[in-house]
Amino acid sequence: MDDPNPDFTRLMALASGYAEARAIQAALKLGFFEALAATQRNSKELAAAVHCDERATMLLANSLTALGLLRKDGEAFGLTDATRRFLVQDSSEYLGGMILFDESLWGTWGKLDESVRFGRPARVPDMYQSDPAETDRFIRAMDSLVRARGDATWTARFLDLSNARTIGDVGGGPGTYLLAFLNHWPALRGLLFDLPATLRITRKLLDQRGDPATARLSLCELDYRCTAIPGPLDVIFMSNIIHSENEETNASLMANCFRALADGGLLVIKDHIMDASLTVPAAGAVFSLYLLLTTNGRDYSFDEISRWLRDAGFVDLRMETLPSPPFTSSLVLARKPPHR
């Protein structure tokens, strides 16, 4: 039957969405999905496995079943195929790192009204460099999201890097994109540039992964805000970097990339690229609130990014939108002119 009041239904779903989010976060944090990975369990057995109250465990497990994240056969709870794919740690598409990162920001989101009132982040915008536990959680979240959604695999296949020999990933974090590029393009050598606290986590992740392509990857400490990017590089790739910075810093970053590229080199920027109204895609507009809370940046339009690129000297600018769903990002590509 048609909803007689769809506007009310949609508004209530938006306004109460925190309940579903918290149910998933709590279950992941408490270990529900790991406890059900090998076998089904009833409420008593599940509560014992995760060291929780039996009645409360039943209520959370029932809610997860209602949301389609667990299945219930009689009194026994089990995993769905999607839950096993995305919420069990040994899955290659494990999304739990991102969900636990979101859970850690719960208190920060509670200060949104203050950030809007005063125009300041709710936490120090340090890119999660000050606390080792926060750095680890943040970098693992970025790796988790990209691997689960498939951004790196899609981007590596889409970009034609057949003539490139060197690629620099500026702010490359866990190395998820760079490893995908190196695996898809075996002639490439890669340099991952990031801050020291991040690189300590990157090394751990690369060691855990044991990917042979790591032999063609170098980790380099670099703060692009105050240090020249070493070159010449055939390609520079940046994913989700410009949205953390203000307009002045981004203009300077484009000039830094231009100097580091070889003649004819390619710059690839992957991010939420907004339309002129800064409201489309919707995911980017909402994500800008997270950026308000945690950084000095926001999501930018193609026109804004193009202006920084042209001022730096880039040519042949174009935007490529990734397929949606599942992606919400776009690529901006630009060339450094060949030497004349």
The domain locations on the chain are 6-91, 112-335
Of 208, 211, 198, the C-alpha closest to 190 is 211
Cα–Cα distance for residue pair 158/224, rounded to 1 Å: 26
- Coil, strand or helix: which one is 287? helix
Query: At 8, is the pLDDT very low, low, confident or very high (cuts 50, 70, 90)?
Result: very high
pLDDT at 340: 59
CB crowding 200-237: b at 16 or more within 10 Å, else e: ebbeebbeeeeeebbebbebeebebeeeebebebbbbb
What residue spans of the chain are helical by DSSP H?
6-15, 17-30, 32-35, 43-50, 54-66, 81-86, 96-104, 106-109, 112-118, 132-149, 151-158, 176-184, 196-209, 247-260, 282-294, 302-312
Which tokens go with 53? 């109250």
User: Would you say 46 and 37 are in contact if contact means Cβ atoms under 8 Å apart?
Assistant: no
pLDDT at 248: 98
Residue with tokens 């409360």: 56
Residue 79, CB-side half-sphere exposure with 13 Å CA sphere: 19
User: Would you say 307 and 247 are in contact if contact means Cβ atoms under 8 Å apart?
Assistant: no
Provide mean pLDDT across the span 271-291.
97
pTM of the model: 0.94
CATH topology agreement for domains 6-91 and 112-335? no
Provide mean pLDDT across the span 3-8.
90
Cα–Cα distance for residue pair 141/101, rounded to 1 Å: 6
Cα–Cα distance for residue pair 5/311, rounded to 1 Å: 50
Cα–Cα distance for residue pair 209/189, rounded to 1 Å: 18
DSSP string, 40-98: -EEHHHHHHHHT--HHHHHHHHHHHHHTTSEEEETTEEEE-HHHHHHSSTTSTT--HHH
Query: At 3, is the pLDDT very low, low, confident or very high (cuts 50, 70, 90)?
Result: confident
Provide mean pLDDT across the span 209-237.
97
Task: Kindly report, residue by residue over 230-255, the tens digit of the pLDDT.
Answer: 999 999 999 999 999 999 999 999 99
Considering only CA atoms, give the Rg of the chain.
Answer: 22
pLDDT at 220: 98
Model confidence at 191: pLDDT above 70 = yes
Who contacts 54 (Cβ-Cβ below 8 Å, separation ≥6)? 43, 44, 47
**C-alpha torsion sign, points 89, 18, 272, 321:** positive
Dihedrals phi, psi of 42, to nearest 5 degrees: -85, 180
Fold of the CATH domain 6-91: Arc Repressor Mutant, subunit A (1.10.10)
User: Would you say 211 and 179 are in contact if contact means Cβ atoms under 8 Å apart?
Assistant: yes
Provide mean pLDDT across the span 307-315.
98
Architecture of the domain made up of 112-335: 3-Layer(aba) Sandwich (3.40)
pLDDT at 2: 82
Query: At 106, is the pLDDT very low, low, confident or very high (cuts 50, 70, 90)?
Result: very high
Query: At 94, is the pLDDT very low, low, confident or very high (cuts 50, 70, 90)?
Result: very high
